[in-house]
Structure 1
Amino acid sequence: METVEKGICFRLGEERYIHPLHCIKEVLSYQSPAPALGSSPGVEGMIEVRGNMVTVLYGSHLLDINPNQCDQEGHIVVLDLPTGYFGVRVESVERVMDLPDSLEVESMEYRSHQCIQGTMLEEGELYIMVDFSDYCSTLN
């Protein structure tokens, strides 16, 4: 039996994004993080989740979106990576969906970013495929 990889769909600004589910530990309602002194740009702070420290990043910073275009960022998507736990602050999490075998990448010139993998169309809606794993793994 063929296994289909799943992704979690979230919204930030005017666009919908989808991130592979395999490294996502959980989705939390937004909670204000404690400031992290000397942290990288885009890091909002730290929260404790079940005894683990989670570095919370602004999703708008990760995807080069003007924060003024985003409504209140209401959820934190927690990634479980070999380098630690990272939370990405997003507006809303909508659903889990199947990922396609291949992605459309030709139309991505309008915004290139290391986290963006390509796009997919699902029921007439455009989704931007992202993966924050490599970016988060470079933070210290």
Structure 2
Amino acid sequence: MEQVVEKGICFRLGSERYVHPISTVKEVLSYQSPAPVPGAREGVEGMIDVRGNMVTVLYGTHLLNLDPAECEEEGHIIVLDLPTGYFGIRVEAVERVMDLPENNDTHGLEYRDHDCIQGTIQHDNELYILVEFNDYCSGLD
């Protein structure tokens, strides 16, 4: 039996399920339309105010190189609390919190070369793609 080192938040985009370590997740919000930011880089949807904190909202489909047409209405924002600020990741649905095993299978994702993807986790006969958006978000100006 693998030792659990932390928990992850499970979310869905299109037909795939993802899990992100919960250590930097501040909260999960129902989707609210962000105010556009003129001149923002591609993938930035806009900004929202969450209890006096400005949160930059990013499209989850853009971060994971997914076709937005393959996803239903994106209904939640996962807010990350990072040293560089607050970032929201717009996802289709947040499903649950699960334990992350110490060792994750990192094979089988060669078709999607992306810095945010860390590997895969098999849990309850479901495949979850382990992602970590912290470095990407911290690199935004």
Q: Does 1:49 align with 2:50?
A: yes
Deviations 1:29-68 (CA, angstroms, capped at 9, x unpaired)? 0000000111111000000000000000000000000000
Q: Is contact 2:64–2:114 with CA below 8 Å preserved after alignment? A: yes
Equivalent residue number for residue 21 of structure 2: 20
Normalised TM-score (structure 2): 0.96
Specify the SS of the correspondent of 1:106: coil
Equivalent residue number for residue 133 of structure 1: 134
Q: How does 1:86-125 map to 2 (within 5 A)?
A: 86-125=87-126
CA 1:134–1:66 in structure 2 vs 1: closer, same or farther (change >3 Å)?
same
Equivalent residue number for residue 60 of structure 2: 59
Q: Is contact 2:4–2:102 with CA below 8 Å preserved after alignment? A: no
After TM superposition, what 4+ stretches of structure 1 lie above 3 angstroms from structure 2? none
Normalised TM-score (structure 1): 0.97
| Percent of pairs with identical residues | 68
Equivalenced residues, count? 139
Specify the SS of the correspondent of 1:72: coil
What's the C-alpha RMSD, in Å, of the aligned pairs?
A: 1.0
Gaps of 5+ in 2: none
